[in-house]
Amino acid sequence: MRKILLTLLLLAAPVAALAADGVPLMKAHVDVTDIPSLQRGAKLFVNYCAGCHSAKYMRFNRIAADLQLPEDLVEQYLIFTGAKIGDTMTTVMSPQDAERWFGVAPPDLSLTARRRGADWVYTYLNSFYRDDSRPVGVNNLIFPDVGMPHVLWELQGMPMPVYGENSGPEGGLRVVGVRVPENGGRLSEREYREATRDLTNFLVYMSEPIKAYRQSLGVKVLVFLLVLLVLTVLLKREYWKDVH
Ligand code: HEC
């Protein structure tokens, strides 16, 4: 039994930390109770992602409530498609067009963070690099031959591939990392990481909107049980005081 458990552990450990081709995942450190981060993430999402990706399980008024934004602000700053505040986040791009342009239709992003994990999404957004042999001009370290363009390149700059020596098959070259050119984008390297962390945070929130509420509820329940325990102990003492 112990042997089986050990084998399972050994098998599971590297899988959790490594993505395709053994590239280590970066740590996203997201926090769905960080409302300002979620607000920034939502803004980035509607500006840079929603043109191609839908989030069909998410409603704008739900975002307004959870992210503590007035509905008229959401209508003004987060809705560009003429959608109503009670609508889900659909995209205007038709799947047929998308397939023609990118070879594959952009998937719905409602549940992506839950399926892939926050670290994967964060690493993905930080792993694009220039590759002129690809139709969209870029590739991705953890998503080889990706069909998505590097839509945030204006912010980040266009990262260049870093080759590892004798890392590929038959000792050839293989991309092992990316290097961001200095002052290549509108954001500094740190700011870009912050921005992609906010974006990842928003995707994590979308994939389980109830999570922050559940966590805070859990804490309240624990505090309540603790208080109850103290009261019960005191009550017990009171009852037994006169029994000798
Ligand atoms: C120009 C259209 C376009 C835009 C804009 C776009 N994407 Fe994509 N995205 C795609 C396509 C196409 C794919 C599918 C890639 C593939 O399968 O090769 C994809 C795939 C993804 C995936 C991988 C999903 C999975 O599990 O396989 C993630 C995550 C993602 N996009 C996030 C984003 C985020 C975040 C933004 C906004 C910053 C964004 N995308 C903007 C076209 C787009």
- The number of the ligand 1 atom at minimal distance from the alpha carbon of 125 is 35
Average pLDDT over every residue of 39-50: 96
Which of left, alpha, beta for 8 (phi over 0: left; psi -120 to 50: alpha)?
Answer: alpha
Share of the chain above pLDDT 70, in %: 89
Average pLDDT over every residue of 28-57: 95
Q: Read off the tokens for 116.
A: 């892939």
Task: Tell me, in angstroms, the distance from the centre of ligand 1 to residue 139's CA.
Answer: 12
Task: Tell me, in angstroms, the distance from the centre of ligand 1 to residue 95's CA.
Answer: 13
With a 6 A CB cut-off, is 41 part of the ligand 1 pocket?
Answer: no
Average pLDDT over every residue of 13-29: 69
Q: By alpha-carbon position, which residue is closest to atom 17 of ligand 1? A: 147
**206 or 102, which is more confident?**
206
- Which one of 25, 47, 52 would you pick to mutate in the ligand 1 pocket, going by the greatest count of ligand atoms within 8 A of its CB? 52
Average pLDDT over every residue of 120-144: 96
Average pLDDT over every residue of 1-30: 66
Q: Is the C-alpha dihedral spanning 189, 194, 197, 202 positive or negative?
A: negative
What pLDDT does 18 receive?
53
What pLDDT does 2 receive?
66
Q: How far is CA 61 from CA 49, 78, 132, 192, in A?
A: 19, 11, 42, 28
What pLDDT does 242 receive?
84
Q: What band does 165 get if pLDDT is binned at 50, 70 and 90? A: confident
Encode pLDDT of 170-192 as tens digits.
667 888 899 998 888 999 999 99
- Kindly tell me if the per-residue pLDDT of 4 is higher than 80: no
With a 6 A CB cut-off, is 116 part of the ligand 1 pocket?
Answer: yes
Average pLDDT over every residue of 76-83: 88
Q: How far is CA 205 from CA 10, 35, 241, in A?
A: 31, 10, 52
CA atoms within 13 A on the CB side of 67: 26
Q: By alpha-carbon position, which residue is closest to atom 2 of ligand 1? A: 52
- Kindly tell me if the per-residue pLDDT of 19 is higher than 60: no
At residue 185, φ and ψ (nearest 5 deg) are -125, 180
Average pLDDT over every residue of 146-175: 87
What pLDDT does 112 receive?
96
